[in-house]
Structure 1
Amino acid sequence: MTDERERDDSGIGLSRRRVLGGIGAIGVASAGAALGTTAYFSDGEGFAGNSLSAGELDLKLDYKSTYTGGPGRLAEVDAMYPDFDVEDLGDGVYLTGEVPDVGSLDWTTKVQELDLCDPELNLVNGDEIPVFTLEDVKPGDSGEVTISFHICDNPAWVWMTGELTENAQNGYTEPEVDALEAMGVSTDDPDGEGQLADAIDVTVWYDEDCDNVYEPGRGDDGPVCVELVLDASGSMSGSRNQQTIAGAKALAEKILTEGDPDNQVGVTFFSAAGYDESAQVVQSLTGDYASVESAIDSLPADGGSTAIGEGLLTGQSDLENYTHDNRVMVVLTDGQNNAGTAPANAGDTVKNAGTETYALGVGGTTQADLEEFASEPTDEHVFFAVDDAAIEQVFAQVAETLAGETLIYEGTLRETMEHLSEGVALDGNRSSEAREPFAGGLTQCIGLEWELPIDVGNEVQTDSVSFDVGFYAEQSRHNDDPTNPFAADSSAQ
């Protein structure tokens, strides 16, 4: 994988991948006027010390890769990765790579909690790292890599690319010849292409909760009701308030217009000024999106305290009115609880009632604060926006988690790499119709899984494949109609 691409010859300049350096000091000469030869009438004005500095656009990657190849193969798999201490995760699954190295901590949790733009974390930044280096792959084996990427500073458009770099036959064994001849495949070219790239199945998807698992959705679970519990304290003012309103409305629209017709959404505000009990249901559960939209649009940011626990309990009181069992609460806050019921106690009440709770955070709240009331496993139910501009996309991640993660491509390894080689435009907000750039300060994950099906036989013996996967970022500001950098005619753009 690489996130650095030298493409000056194709017309992609510095402003695309990274703005290098700054625009130096630009001085405006001072203006002085002298009338005649005397000093009695004189004047001088100036504009001194002017400077302009360029911002940044830096793409950084981290990842977690696993190999499922059956129990008892730790020493064998570890030998394939001399630069990484392979770990047996149990049930024949092996951890074969992890950046950042979080030690005994959970990677999925840490990549959503850390400021991954911190240079001390040593993320993949201009390096090429093979995440799969495997020999003796057998039918039934599989592997998965979850790639987390980070746009540092300015928002950006992102493309994913890939290439099949080798599909080698590597000679023949006797069983392989028999299998290929039975399939009507020529065995005249031992140095030609093998069959492995066409036998391996690959799935690529937006892994919303970064858990290494493709989850197509809740279609079999029946209708769902979602209570939006939103912080209305004074610190939520300005762009933070507007981002929350936009994100909450997009989530509600996804649930009510694209899901089961019996889905419902309710809205609760907490910590607004004038509430008698710190929280209030402003729209009871309904299937009418217009009513929910109107309620969310009224979200204030004027409260003097933060009563998260009261918001939880009040939201749960609305969920109790739903006739189906699939109840979900989505809570957004930017601070720490300082009034009313403790969030941990309120969270226990909500979870004991059977409600699945997602905790969304921004600003002064912390991962630990959110974990106090989020459902287990917390790494799949806590979402954090480092920057206010990412709040809307945090809601979108939860919406996609509830509705089902979006597939990017599915096919054989050869088909997948051919598709990626043309450059796949990734969408920063899967809940909106139009493609959006990726916000800075937000962790987003892409999952890639390969599998050699159990019914593949001797025809792939001795075969080997190699492939590359990469990402490319380009600034989005003043760039509303970006050109695919991997298109065949991109050099002409």
Structure 2
Amino acid sequence: MQDDFNISRRKTLAALGTIGAASAGAGLGTSAYFSDQESFENNALVAGELDLKVSWDEHYSDWMGEETDYARMPEDGETPDLSLPAADPNGRPIELVFSDRTAFMDATRQEQFPEGGLGSEEDPCEALADVGDDDMEAPVITVDDVKPGDFGEVTFDFTACDNPALLWMNGRLVDEAENGLTEPEADDPDEGDTAGGGDDTGGGTGSITSNGPFTVTPDVSAMDLASTLVSPDGNVNITNATYTGAPNANGTFTGGTDPFGIGNGIILSSGSAANLEESAGGADNNLDGISAENGQPGDADLTELAGAGDVSNDAAVLELTFEVPEGEDQIFFNFVFGSDEYNEYAPGGDFDVFGDVFGFFVNPGSGTAEETNVALINGEPVSVESINQITNQALFNNNDPSDTDTPFATEADGFTDVLQVQADVNPGEENTLKLAIADENDQQLDSWVLIGGETLSTEPPTENESELVDKLRARAWYDEDIAGDNVHQDGEEVFLEGSLRDVLDALSTGNGVPLAGNEPAADGGGTGRNCYSEAPDVHYVAFQWWLPIDHGNEVQSDSATFDLGFYTEQCRHNDGSGMNNEGVDPDEVDP
């Protein structure tokens, strides 16, 4: 018998939830993911199958619903049933007294699987969700606004089928954003950033982001467009700006975080900038095509970029001259391309000769249009042809009413994810940046390019940290004393607590935070920390976040996204330190 150690793994990610929280309409979400691992040694099955089964029960309280009928703040000297501590030990906690705890939990429930919970007579290995079941509908909590005192919670029920298990809880911060600064947020002394110039609508410099829907202000002067783009700390000094094209083909925008991922900035269009807003009378895109014919000429660089035999029409061109200091030799900025030519004029569509053309040309004239264009994806110009449902599909958002339910609140039938330009420039000298878009070979069906406000800089974008992730508190505990009741009892151990950032930092290290099981490792055939007993036993871990009462306006418009989950291994023949996940050759032993 050959002496080797091979690992047969199942590492499946199953989206099991979205918990939302953010101020002023921005979204904070979590999706839970799980993995289980099987191990074989010396050509003999030593642990059999290890199958992690899970369920969940999620709640969110914003004090705007029926939950107010079943809970209140305690009176002087009254012991609270629920207490969520402030970050400062001397701060005021969130405290509640329940008149009917069951009714309160029912009123705040967002999603539960299985519906009604696990029955006492049910086999958990049959009733709970199987890891990796892509058909499992994800539970969703949607929150439009976070106020002091709001809190959310999810309790995970899990069982280890076939063998005792070691378990880790893990998670990660996926994304966070300031999403611009409202005036109250900018005025708050705890706000890390300050607002720049411009007015409340963002139509001037675009430095203050509206919390309303996506809104376009058309016909903006060239210098106002330019100043909207420049980062206040980015070492880019605009010396001149000119715009060529129809007045309605340019504009500034606010409220672009949803759907485009860019809070504010400028638009250039082959037709009408304002046509990018939602279709009139509808909550989403209800037109399969929209066009504005401006009767404008094309652009020589765009015609060259389009290729032999093609022409450009209705060009909109913003040209900036700028200087950067000595020692700075690159610029960066973010953009999104969208078009009503999706999906008919993309590969696989009915037509392919009218795809609109756009380009960002750095120091045009120093080379060909192809050589100076920096709006590229994998070396190819960004266009309907290069990002779509077939090519670079991971960067594409389909919103075509002919083949989707139009999930995005914009007229564009499709648009890219946020893309980044990184381009070489001449340090200590005057440079030119030409931003241009046009119809190709016709004047039908508008396209748009959105460029992020305050993203034009000599510095690469840094992590967009928000105060929300630091101001939100979070904790995780073993929800066992009153099994899986979603409420922390005094006797239940909190194994993780702190700011949401600190908690997620701990959960994202290694396999995550090791969980203390309910039986000695030796009983499950392992060594080290306790393991979790196998089915029919069910175990419970809860995770809770809350926004303390003692905070100001610094989290307005901030958003964040994070994942939660578990990693599990068989208990038998393992010591709780975690497998190294490295493959081995047949003559090797996995350390």
Q: Which has the higher strand share?
A: 2
Settle same-fold status: TM greater than 0.5: no
Query: What is the TM-score with the length of structure 1 in the denominator?
Result: 0.43
